[in-house]
Amino acid sequence: MEVTLMAKNVEALYWEPREGGAVQCKLCPVRCLLKEGKTGVCMAKKNIGGKLIATAYGLTTAFNYDPIEKKPLYHFHPGATILSLGPNACNMGCQFCQNFQISQQTAPTRRVEPSELVAAANVRNCVGVAYTYTEPLMWYEYVLDAAYAVKRAGLKNVLVSNGYLEPEPFDHILPLIDALNIDIKSMDEEFYRKICKGKLAPVLRNVEHTAGKAHIEITNLVIPGLNDSDDNFERLAKFIAGVDPFMPLHFSRYHPMYKMENPMTPVDTLLRAGEISRQYLKYVFIGNVEVPGYDDTHCPSCNALLIRRQGFSAEVLAVENGHCVKCGTSVKIVGV
């Protein structure tokens, strides 16, 4: 039976003392002001004795060997297996959260020390470790320690994140991270404020800042009636193209979940999102549903089939050293 264990008392980074024993957390834009004994919005930090403690340190809700395609990352070591774990924590409150049982509610966890990760990853010949499932940046202190150990062992670090962090801590952790998938949930600040209890601008800032420093792919969960307008798809694709037109964009099918009862995303909506985005971007994929022609990677230059995918499996057919073997174009695919 799984149990929730007490973490070690690891002091959090990025906080300041305030009057009367309170503390101000400065890790993410929520900026929780916490009196003695209070826990932050993310559930991962607590004011204990006038200090901010990273109470979720080392406690994971999951410990799985996943295909890297499941993150989703399609252009980073395609076909690899990656050890995946995630905290019982999140700093947003998306009404549609597809993982709400472990991100928005208290859930059972088990402790995994950073030093255990490398051996566990090597058991299944993993490319590295993914911090994923919930909001791993709320595990900041643990991810730092784990990522150092993983990198020292010559393995890769992957973050699957909402990207909602203050610039200084984000920039500080970035050199340890090899690849990210960041959710851009909408191009509308109101959507972020009302539906996600967050803000869009810090997310866009972090996406822009990651480009050129680590591999990055974007996911957009398409919710009927909320973020499925042509205008939203076009603004999203234009934004990404402005950063890097080779950055893969994954449209993902939403299912009614948590507090959201809107119906499941129609396939036609995903096709429309794909059509609009392909005007601006080299690589657009559709996930959580099989749509022929939207799971494979083709060369943006000669249209050769580079990677064939079925479900979460990937077969690399025509990429060598990041170049299309047919026409020689640099296709910006990492690890093959």
Tell which one of 80, 85, 112, 138 touches ligand SF4 (CB under 6 A): 138
- For ligand SF4, which residue of 7, 28, 62, 247 counts as binding (CB under 6 A)? 28
247 binds ligand SF4 (CB under 6 A): no
The CA distance from 217 to 6, in Å, is 34
CB 78 within 8 A of CB 254: no
Residues counted in the chain:
336
Number of chain positions touching ligand SF4 (CB under 6 A): 13
Q: How far is the C-alpha of 144 from the C-alpha of 156, rounded, in Å?
A: 13
Cis status, amide bond into 292, omega within 30 of 0: no
What backbone torsions phi and psi does residue 284 show, to the nearest 5 degrees?
-130, 130
- Of 37-45, 100-108, 111-119, 271-279, which segment contacts ligand SF4 by CB under 6 A? 37-45
Q: Residue 30, interface with ligand SF4 (CB under 6 A)?
A: yes
Contact with ligand SF4 (CB under 6 A) among 13, 17, 37, 45: 45
**∠ CA 206-199-20 to the nearest 5 degrees?**
100
272 φ, ψ to 5°?
Answer: -65, -45
Q: Rank residues 28 and 223 by Cβ distance to ligand SF4 and give the closer one.
A: 28
State how far the Cα of 329 lies from the Cα of 336, in Å rounded to an integer: 14
Closest separation in Å from C-beta 144 to ligand SF4? 14
Q: By C-alpha distance, which of 235, 230, 250 is closest to 297? A: 250
* Contact pick of 13, 18, 21, 40 for ligand SF4 (by CB under 6 A): 40
Instruction: Report which of 180, 127, 118, 62 is spatially closest to residue 314, judged by C-alpha positions.
Output: 127
Nearest to 90 by CA among 2, 145, 163: 163
Residue with CB nearest ligand SF4?
Answer: 40
Q: CA-CA distance, 34 to 46, in Å (whole number)?
A: 8
Q: Cβ closer to ligand SF4: 28 or 222?
A: 28
In this complex, which beta carbon is closest to ligand SF4, that of residue 25 or of residue 314? 25
**Residue 42 contacts ligand SF4 per CB under 6 A:** yes
| Shortest Å, Cβ 15 to ligand SF4 | 7
Report if residue 91 touches ligand SF4, rule: CB under 6 A: yes
- Minimum distance from residue 28 beta carbon to ligand SF4 (Å): 3
Among the residue ranges 36-44, 70-78, 205-213, 228-236, the one whose residues contact ligand SF4 (CB under 6 A) = 36-44
Q: Enumerate binding residues for ligand SF4 (CB under 6 A).
A: 25, 27-28, 30-32, 40-42, 44-45, 91, 138
